[in-house]
Each structure stands twice: as C-alpha cells, then as structure tokens.
Amino acid sequence: MNRGYIYHAELRKVPALWPEVLVVGSGVAGLSAAIAAADGGAQVMVLAKGTVRDSNTYHAQGGIAVVLGEGDSIEKHVNDTLEAGAGLCAAAAVESIVGEGPERVNELISWGANFDSENGRLMVGQEGAHSARRILHAEGDRTGMEIQRALSERAGRHPQITVLESVFALDLLHDEGGVWGVIAMDSMGDLLAVYARAVILATGGIGHVYRESTNPDTATGDGIAMAARAGAVLEDMEFVQFHPTTLYLAGVRRHLISEAVRGEGAYLVNTYRERFMPGYDRNAELAPRDVVSRAILSEMKRTNSPHVYLDMRHLAPELVLKRFPNIAATCARYRLDITKDLVPVRPAAHYFMGGIKTDLSGRTSMARLLACGECAATELHGANRLASNSLLEGLVMGSRAGRQACGMADPGRFPRNVVGEQKPDGDAELVNEDMEASLRAMMWRQVGMVRNGEPLASADRALRYWWRYVDSVPVHTAADVTLRNMLTVARFITHAALLREESRGAHYRTDFPKTSEEWRRHQCFRVEDVDSD
C-alpha cells in the first residue's frame, strides 16, 4: 500500500483557500470543533462530503448519555462505560470525557437544542448496560436530527465559520511528519487545495465497508484512510460494533431500530415466537450490544431464519408512538404497525471503536493534525462502546480539538509541490461498483460479528490481491478515492482481527473464544504494517 498520496495533482495549478483551521466533517464532532475554534478567535472552514444531513449524527436515534438526573452519578456512568469496554477502556479517558459531558450538553441546550422534557424537567431514558436512566432524547427518536440542527444553526450564524458542502477531501497535504492542509474535489470534479495551520478530521465511521450497515453511504472511513496514508498511527482497528436490531425486509435498505426500544421494555423473540435473551444473559434485552448481537445470530442459525423479531405489542401503544415516532413512520412505510406487528430485525455494522490514535486533546501522532469523533481512537470505548456514549464523545472531544487547534502556531510555510505519482493509462480497468460490492460482501461474511482465523487469513489475502490491482489503476474521481479508502480501512480491520487471538467485546473468534489477559492491550498500526510489498 502506498504511503503518501493516491491522487495526482500539480498544486501550483490548483485554486487555493487559506483558513486558519480546517475541519473535515460536519457531524457532532466536526461542528463542535468548528464552533470551539471559531469562539477561540480562529477563521474556520468546514468541508462536508455531502450535506450536513449525510452524517451519522443526523441519523442517530437513541440519544446522548449524560449524567443530569437524580439517582445517577459520574462514578456510575464511568463504571458502566468501563464494564462495557471489556477491559480496554482507558480509565483516564472515561473519567475525563464522561466528567465533561454535563457541561457540554448544557452548553448545547443554551444554543437552542430542545431535548424532551416533562413538567419542565428533562426526560431521561434507559438503554442496555446502563445502571441508571441517563439517556437524553429529542422528539422521541430524532435526537441526532435535533443535535445536528442546533449545531448547524450555531455554526451558520458564526461570522468566522464557512461551511462548504459537497466537497470531498481526497488526501492530506503533508511532509516531514506534519500536515498543512488537504486537496479536495467539489461536486463538479474540480480540485481545490485548502491550507491551514491545523487540520481537524471528524469524518465519522466505516459502516459502509460492510454489506449490512446502519450507517449512511458516506461512512467509508475516508479520514482514517487519509491519515494512514500520511503516516499517522491508528489504534484498535479490530473493534467494530454491530447493532443488534436493524429492520430486515428483503430488498429494503436497512433501518436502525434504536437501543432505546429495548430500553423501554421491548422483547426479542425468534421465529418460533420464543423470547430468548434471558437464556443468554442475566440482563436479557439490556445486555451489552455484542452479547445481544451474537445471541440473535445464534437464534437465526438455530431456527434457520434470516432474522428474529422485536416485540412491542405488550407496551402501551400511546407510549410507543410518542417515544418512537420516527421508527413508527419508517416501519409504516412497509406496512408494519409497531404497536401491533412483530418487527423483523437482524444485526448490522454500526459503530467503529478504532481509528486515528489521539490524546485527550485530539492531537494525533502528526504535527498540526487532530481528530475527533468516530474516526478517532481515544480509548473511551475500549472493545465495546456503551450505548449513547458516541454523541457525548463527539461533543466533548470536538470542543477540545477545536480549542487545541486555536493554540497551534502557523507553520510559516506551505509547500505547493506536485502531489502523488501519475500512473500510466494502460489497459487496466476497474468497475468501482463491482469491487465495492465484493468488498462489502466479503467483510460481512469473513470479518463480521463472528470471526475465525482461516476466513480472516483468506480475507487478508484477497484484500492484498485486490489492492495490488486497484493500485495499478489511475485515480480520477471521488469514487475512485472512496473505493481505495474502503480497501485501506478493510485491510487494517482484517489485519488487526487476525492478530488478536482472543475474544473481547465486539471482537469474537470461534477459534479463540475466551478472553486472554495477555491480550489486555491495544494494537497500534501504521500503513507499513499492512503493506503487501
């Protein structure tokens, strides 16, 4: 795998922009970073791959975990996070981020975010593996939409923030261990160089690398792949969280059915109409996500069915419809009444615990490069993220990264040399859509919820072979770059999963089914660690 650039451009001929701080990504982490940097006095530019609605934040349903209510405490939230993380959370990261959560959420409320309340008091919900009701939600299950709206409006009103939509960052501009901007492409296919004294990556997750995913199509690991090519250290790449319940109907796009549905009392039943979770875990439907996901997979196999069911029929219909209007409307499009019908569900790739290694200020291993949100690895989540901690992390770490960027000095120079090596236009030809479909199917089959050494090794060999061929084909479009980003991330995930010879949290191997104290450690990688040459 090439270390450096995959896109050829002579930068002297490319139009340039010069903000002080550049943020790549427009979800909760990216906009929080932009606002914090702008409040600190910096001129900030935000690049959104699509629209601001194309982020994982916008699609988030369940809520944001934060200690605000009676009967809860920071200590309880910390302990729940540590327990869910299966021994790989960094206690300092958990205590720091969870501890700052109330301040950041109250700040968000002061900016106009409207969370559900009753008689003037914020309502808090229950979710799996939480020992207290601490999940704030908005309009029932439209929490992400509300957070995105509040942050977008705040950023849009800020005189020192410029947001460019439909601009895709192709590569980090870097040399000698430092970053000084990005080369990007707009919706017309025209190139743009953006130079900055600090670059903040907030590009979200990798869900689209898998055939079954709750994420939007834009979640292709772009920031992680860019950082890897530039030489940044990545961490915990084997830990992919699968959400237990996504709507499963043949021929229909997968839709997330929030964890909060089980938090409010819904049951999981198999196709024999048997409730099965009490037989797998003492917390039944409120067990950690990895436990619930594997239990569902086991029941699917036992009953020879492609799904199980989520059962809300015993809950008060008015409660269900008020609490989950978005889920109800989605299911209604397919003629399912969630108050009367069993809802077919199965797991899907949902969240990435790994990513670009950062400290608790968002700094990476490269000068002037920061990362926050799902693309970053802070060691908050360990081997298995606690439900609804992701929006919390985005708010806290986005704000920290923005503040940190303000203190970074201008590098004093911005080289404008030729980026990348132009590959010869030969007979090599590539159909991106076909390669992407093959990649996503293989990752789902061989590097999914249940793993084994032989399929992992086979996938690793296939990815090396595919990369050698793909790398020989010239890169011209954003789709060409996206495919290479997906392949890059898939190679890191597979390589890390093959090395970790144990089962821990979201990483489960049938040939090493037990957790090993020897493996109670993080794995860090650079691009040369998965290089096939």
Helix, strand, coil content of the chain in percent (nearest 5): 40, 20, 45
Tokens of 23: 């943020």
Q: How far apart are CA 394 and CA 352, in angstroms?
A: 13
Q: How far apart are CA 528 and CA 20, in angstroms?
A: 31
Cα-Cα-Cα-Cα dihedral sign, residues 169, 173, 174, 179: negative
Tokens of 110: 């002061």
Q: For the chain, count helices (H), then strands (E).
A: 14, 25
Q: How far apart are CA 476 and CA 190, in angstroms?
A: 11
Which of 154, 289, 368, 385 is the catalytic position?
Answer: 289
Q: What is the DSSP letter of 504?
A: B
Q: What is the DSSP string of 429-460?
A: ---HHHHHHHHHHHHHHHSSSSB-HHHHHHHH
Tally the C-alpha atoms within 13 A of residue 308's C-alpha that lie toward its C-beta. 29
Q: How far apart are CA 478 and CA 303, in angstroms?
A: 43
- Please confirm, yes or no, whether 289 is among the known catalytic residues: yes
Q: Which amino acid is at 351?
A: Y
Angle separating helix axes 222-230 and 478-499, nearest 10 degrees: 80
Q: How far apart are CA 159 and CA 459, in angstroms?
A: 49
Angle separating helix axes 28-39 and 143-157, nearest 10 degrees: 30
Q: How far apart are CA 160 and CA 28, in angstroms?
A: 18
Q: What is the DSSP letter of 30?
A: H
Q: What is the DSSP letter of 184?
A: E
Cβ-contact 393, 387 below 8 angstroms: no
Cβ-contact 519, 238 below 8 angstroms: no
SS3 235: strand
Cβ neighbours of 68 (radius 10 Å): 16
Residues with Cβ within 8 Å of 173's Cβ and at least 6 positions away in sequence, in order, are: 11, 179, 180, 181, 182, 183, 193, 195, 415, 419
Give, in degrees to the nearest 5, the angle at Cα 445 between 441 and 448: 110
Tokens of 257: 């059915």
State phi, psi for 161 to the nearest 5 degrees: -120, 130
SS (H, E, C) 151-168: HHHHHHHCCCEEEECCEE
Catalytic residue numbers? 289
